Amino acid sequence: MVPLVSHADLEPYIQRIADGETSPLLTKQPITTLSLSSGTTEGRQKYVPYTSHSSKTTLQIFKLAAAYRSRVYPTREGGRILEFIYGSKQFKTKGGLSAGTATTHYFASPEFKLKQQQTNSFTCSPHEVIFCGDYKQSTYCHFLLGLFYSPQVEFITSTFAYCIVQALGLFEDYWRDICNDLYNGTLSPRITVPSIRTSVLDLIKPNTGLATWVGSQCEELEASNWYGLIPKLWPNAKYIYSIMTGSMQPYLEKLKHYTGDQLPLVSAEYGSTESWIGVNMDPCSAPQNVTFTVVPTFSYFEFIPLHRKAACDTVVGAAGGCDDYLEGDPVPLSKVKIGQQYEIVLTTFTAFVDHGYVVSRRTNSIGPLELCVVQPGTFRKIMEHYIGNGATMSQFKTPSCLVYQWHFAKTAKKDVDTKCIMDDYT
C-alpha cells in the first residue's frame, strides 16, 4: 500500500533534513541534495529531496533517449551541441546539504560530463558560461561559441522550447556584436563577468571568413523576419530537441518559423521536478502527437481512471473542452488499459507523491479565474521576476496561473496588472 500524501505533508520532515537531521526520516538512502522547484506551478519554490538514485535516473533516461534519437538522426562522433542551458548558484542549508534548482544540480554533476563522454557529443559552452547567473550574458556567449563551432553543431537543444525561442529573440538584437567578436576574436563589453570573459576568450580566435559569412546570412534573415534562422546558421544541425508538450505547445509555431519548417522538432523526455516518468521512443513523431513510454524503475506509478460525466456529452463542443470527470480507484502500471484516460500519480523513492490536481478538485479549491489580455513583453517580465528570485532560465516555464496566497506570485501578479489591457473575472 502506497500512501497518498502531498508536499505539505512532508514539508516538516524535509525541513528537519535541511537543518541537519541525519536519521532516515523519509528514505533508507541518504538525502544527497535538495532541489528547488521553479515556483511556476504554485507561486513559491519548494524543497524536493534527492538521493543518488535521482542522479542515476537522470543519466539513464538521457542515455536511453539518445539511443532512440541516434537510430533516426545519427550524429558524428565528437560533434557539438548548441545547448541553451543555465545554472544558478548552489547554496548550503543549515545542515550542510547542497540546495539549488534541479537543472543546476545536474549541470554541476559528474553525470553531466559523463553523459557527454558516453554519447560522444559535447556542449559548445564551458562551465563558466552555464553558471554565469545572468541569462542574457550566458545567452550571448552560447551564441558566440555556437557560431564559432557552427560546422560541428549536430543539434540544438534546451530544457524547454520556450528557452530556445527566448534565446533566438535575443539573437536578433545581438548578432552584429557577435559578428564583430567573431571577426576580431574579442568579447563584447556587455559581458562583464570576469570568469566568463576568461573562459570564452581562451576558446575563440579571429575568424574573418566565418564572421563575414554569418553577417551576410543575418542581413538576409533580418529582411525575411528571421524565417529559417537555424538551418541557415547551423547547416549541419539535424534537429531541435526540447520539451515541447503541455505548456510549451504555444511556442512551437515560433520555433517552426525559426527552423523554416526544415528541421524536425523532437520532443524530449516526460518528467516533473519530483521524478522522470517516460521516454520518447519515436523521435519522428511531431510534438503534438508524441507518446511517452513509462520507465517503471524511476518511481512507483499509479493511474487514476477518469470517466467523463454524462452531462459533458450534452455540452456543445464538449468532446475537447469538458473537464468534469468521475474518478475511479488508482490502478498500477500493469493494469492500464489502452484507450482509457488517466491522471498519473507517482511516488518517488524519497516518498514524495505528485498527484496533480486531484486534491484540489476534491476539495473544490480551484477557485475563480481571472483572465487577462496583456501587452507584449509581459511574459518576459514574469520570467525575469522568477529568475530574480532564484529560478533559472533552464527551469522556467510560463506559469499556468498565479496563486495569490504566496508572496512570490503576488509580486509577479503586479507585473501582470501593470501590463493588462483587458480582463474578465469568472
Give the pLDDT mean for 93-112: 78
Identity (one letter) of the amino acid at 279? V
| Inside any domain, residue 87 | yes
| Inside any domain, residue 129 | yes
By the 8 A CB rule, do 72 and 40 touch?
no
Residue 203 half-sphere exposure, CB side, CA atoms within 13 Å?
22
Q: What is the pLDDT of residue 121?
A: 80
Computed over every residue of the chain, the mean pLDDT equals 82
Local structure of residue 244 (DSSP, 8 states)? -
Range from 306-310, 328-332, 361-365 carrying the lowest mean pLDDT: 361-365
| Inside any domain, residue 247 | yes
Q: What is the pLDDT of residue 317?
A: 44
Considering only residues 167 and 32, tell me which one the structure prediction assigns the higher pLDDT: 167
By the 8 A CB rule, do 84 and 145 touch?
no
Going by C-alpha positions, the residue among 37, 100, 48, 98 that lies closest to residue 352 is: 48
User: Angle CA(349)–CA(282)–CA(300) in degrees, nearest 5?
Assistant: 15
Q: What is the pLDDT of residue 398?
A: 66
What b/e readout covers 83-94, taking b as 16+ CB neighbours within 10 angstroms? bbbbbbebeebe
- How would residue 389 be classed by pLDDT, with cut points 50, 70 and 90? low
Q: What is the pLDDT of residue 93?
A: 83
Q: What is the pLDDT of residue 388?
A: 63
| Inside any domain, residue 54 | yes
Does the pLDDT value for residue 113 go beyond 70?
yes
pLDDT tens-place string over residues 52-87: 777 788 888 988 998 999 999 998 888 999 999 988
Alpha-carbon gap, residue 176 to 129, rounded angstroms: 20
Q: Residues of the chain with pLDDT > 90: what percent?
A: 45
Does the pLDDT value for residue 386 go beyond 70?
no
Give the pLDDT mean for 232-250: 94
Does the pLDDT value for residue 234 go beyond 70?
yes
Going by C-alpha positions, the residue among 275, 178, 165 that lies closest to residue 229 is: 165
pLDDT tens-place string over residues 2-26: 455 667 787 888 888 888 887 777 7
| Inside any domain, residue 201 | yes
| Inside any domain, residue 347 | no
Q: What is the pLDDT of residue 403?
A: 58
Cell of 156: 540544438
Residue 35: in which H helix or E strand, if any? strand 33-36
Alpha-carbon gap, residue 426 to 416, rounded angstroms: 17
| Inside any domain, residue 387 | no
Give the pLDDT mean for 172-187: 97
Highest mean pLDDT among 26-40, 186-200, 338-352: 186-200
Does the pLDDT value for residue 405 go beyond 50?
no
Identity (one letter) of the amino acid at 364? N
How many structural domains are present in the chain?
A: 1
Does the pLDDT value for residue 356 go beyond 70?
no
Going by C-alpha positions, the residue among 14, 58, 5 that lies closest to residue 36 is: 14
| Inside any domain, residue 345 | no
Going by C-alpha positions, the residue among 141, 122, 136 that lies closest to residue 196 is: 141
Q: What is the pLDDT of residue 315?
A: 46
Q: What is the pLDDT of residue 407?
A: 47
Q: How many residues does the chain have?
A: 426
Q: What is the pLDDT of residue 393?
A: 62
Query: Which value, to the nearest 10 degrees, does the dihedral of the CA atoms of residues 247, 291, 167, 225 take?
Result: -90
- How would residue 107 be classed by pLDDT, with cut points 50, 70 and 90? confident
- Note down the domain range covering 180: 48-289
Q: Give backbone dihedrals phi and psi of 396, rounded to 5 degrees, phi first.
A: -75, 135
Alpha-carbon gap, residue 84 to 130, rounded angstroms: 8
Alpha-carbon gap, residue 130 to 134, rounded angstroms: 9
Local structure of residue 31 (DSSP, 8 states)? P
The Cα-based distances of 384 to 11, 134, 172, 388, 400 in angstroms read 27, 10, 19, 6, 16
Say which residues have a Cβ less than 8 Å from residue 213's Cβ, sequence separation at least 6. Answer: none
Going by C-alpha positions, the residue among 225, 269, 75 that lies closest to residue 156 is: 75
Going by C-alpha positions, the residue among 64, 23, 37, 15 that lies closest to residue 269 is: 64
Give the pLDDT mean for 162-189: 96
- How would residue 158 be classed by pLDDT, with cut points 50, 70 and 90? very high
pLDDT tens-place string over residues 42-54: 556 777 777 777 7
Alpha-carbon gap, residue 209 to 206, rounded angstroms: 9
Give the pLDDT mean for 391-415: 59
**DSSP per residue over 351-374, as a string?**
S-EE-TTHHHHHTT-----EEEEE
Range from 59-73, 137-151, 324-338, 369-383 carrying the lowest mean pLDDT: 369-383
Residue 201: in which H helix or E strand, if any? helix 194-201
Identity (one letter) of the amino acid at 57? T
